[in-house]
Chain A
Amino acid sequence: MNLILEGIVKAFWLIVSFDREVYEIMFLSLRVSGIAVLIGSLLGVPSGATIGLKEFFGKRFLVSIVNTFMGLPPVVVGLLVYLLLSTSGPLGAFQLLYTPEAMIMAQLIMVIPIVMGVTISSVSSIGKAIREKALSLGATNWQITLKVLKEARLGILTALIVSFGAAISEVGAVMIVGGNIRWATRVLTTAIVFETELGEFGLAIALGLILLLLAFVINWALTYLQWSGLRR
């Protein structure tokens, strides 16, 4: 009990004193997961919308594959990206292992199926009605897609919330491909593992609190957006 209290006090101090290392770790976490979610939604939303709106052979099979990959274990993704980026692997020439870019890649692979899956389900639930109405008004395919996306924005925001939460709290993949290098690839989750091993429980608890706080602020912002979207 003593340890936990000490940890919370230390956490408070680290946060209010703007400890340089803690803040750098925090910003790296935000950057890695933020970029992964951004690129992931740029790729996942259009492809998810296409799959959700179009009827084609094997659609059900494709959707179940996407849904399976939504539950991809991060460590497996980490292993895969590690083997790809290792100097003796197929993408070794780029020398990306143990860099933030490698961590973004790993999280991107995790995030894309989540964004795609949620987009598919929310688009297909409203797609039909809108499509018929829009067609009767003489809209082009492109305009229909945009309109459906607009109406499905609540579901897409949910996709962003879920995938960002998964990305920033994930530890297995970033540990493997990032290597937890101080001042370079140490993010909140890997730092918590490391500091716990060293017995720096204060720092570990501080980092944990910051992680919670970040997740809360971002979820709050997105939920706010979602609700204000509902009222429109």
Chain B
Amino acid sequence: MNEGFMEGLEEPMGGKSVLNYCRYVYKNITPTYSDKHNGASLMNQRTKILVLSSTLVVGVILAAFSYTQSSRQQSLVLATTTSTYDSGLLDYIIPVFERRDSVKVNILSKGTGESIEIVKRGDADVVLVHSRRLEEQFVADGYGVHRVGVMYNDFIIIGPSSDPAAIAGGSNAKVAFEQIAKAGAEGKAVFVSRADRSGTNMLELSIWDTLGLHPSDKNSAWYVEAAAGMAAVLRMANEKNAYTLTDRATWLSFRSQLPDLTVLVEKDQILLNPYGLIPINPEKYPQRNFKKAVALAKFMISEEGQRLIESFRKENETLFHPLARDFQLAHKLGFPDQEYEVAWYDSQEVELSFVGKMALSSIVNHEIALKGKFELFSFESHS
């Protein structure tokens, strides 16, 4: 036992100021002349090092904390599908938006169903998803407003080149599904389902539904429910020599890693895959960043945003096609109010970053800018 341990520590004197604390530490911990001549000095030296190093550690951590606090600029949480994120599209266009609007976009890459649930709980500001039924339900329930079509691509049925279900070359998804089910029942084919309520999964289930088949109801060996993202399911299909339904963007992004798979069925009308963007309803969750959600939508459907989407290529193929300003196509793909919503977004004034503001004030006269800002606070829908 150390001899010095029983020595009474002097209480910090009266006040609680930092100065007093320092005096206290100095008095009690710094070795005095007499200390050096008895056994206590070694222990005091050690205690001093301990106190100093722990102070340092605490200081560093407090600094890290305050850094994270101060660096938190305006941010926006975008809940989206794995297809838009894993394919690299969002990493391609979102930084442009972030720089221009000086906002940090945090992207959650989940399935359509999960993304919508996240916004329903008020944990994200905007969704970019692909399932008409879930989207319309989301708006009808009052959680989202101003649903607008942004882009589209298409789904394809892929499978092993050996094609045991003999569906290659077809352009009818229902027929192909029926044949896969038949071959599956005979033990010749396997189908991997996302099984995660993603947009892809919703479409797949609706196709089984129209065929009167419900493979997920019972434990069938040929129907594998993966509960995973698109990229993971593609990989699984490749390993298992299985069929699956995928969006073309994810397929093109990962094709080089999937040597055993090939496109078997494509270009069916029901396989078109439109993406809708829906900001959260500000009346339901006023604490969310509705303003920036609108700014993001405005950017995505602007001429510039649409051009950027179209220019995103993998292996020389366009992955997503612009949809926002092709009203006829938008109507056909399930956006009946497209022109109204686009007009509404176009009429919204966006709060620009400092640099943007300087540019604006040098061009237009101040009154117009103020008026524009005022309009920003009256979110009136067209209806």
**Which residues of chain A have a CB within 8 Å of any CB of chain B?**
31, 34-35, 38, 86-88, 92-93, 95, 97-98, 100-101, 133, 137-139, 143, 147, 150, 179-182, 184-185, 197-199
Contacts and interface: CB of A to CB of B under 8 A. Distances in A.
Contacts of B77: 98
User: Would you list the 5 A-B pairs with minimal beta carbon distance, nearest first?
Assistant: A87-B122, A197-B232, A181-B106, A199-B257, A88-B121
A199 B287 contact: no
Contacts of A133: 1
Interface string B280-311: 00000101100000000000000000000000
Contact of B123 (A35, A38, A86): A86
Interface stretch (B61-69, B153-161, B163-171): B61-69
B257 A184 contact: no
Contacts of B104: 184
B232 A101 contact: no
B312 to A, nearest CB: 17
A39 B50 CA distance: 17
B1 A143 contact: no
Contact of B61 (A35, A100, A181): A35
Contacts of A100: 68
Nearest to A133: B1
12 contacts: A31-B64, A35-B61, A38-B61, A87-B287, A88-B121, A88-B122, A137-B6, A139-B6, A184-B106, A197-B229, A197-B235, A199-B235
B107 interface: yes
Interface in B232-261: 232, 235, 254, 257
B68 A101 contact: yes
A60 B138 CA distance: 51
A87 B123 contact: yes
A10 to B, nearest CB: 15
B108 interface: yes
Which interface residue of B5, B108, B123, B288 has the most chain A CB atoms within 10 A?
A: B123
Contacts of B229: 197
Contacts of A182: 91, 107
B64 A181 contact: no
B352 interface: no
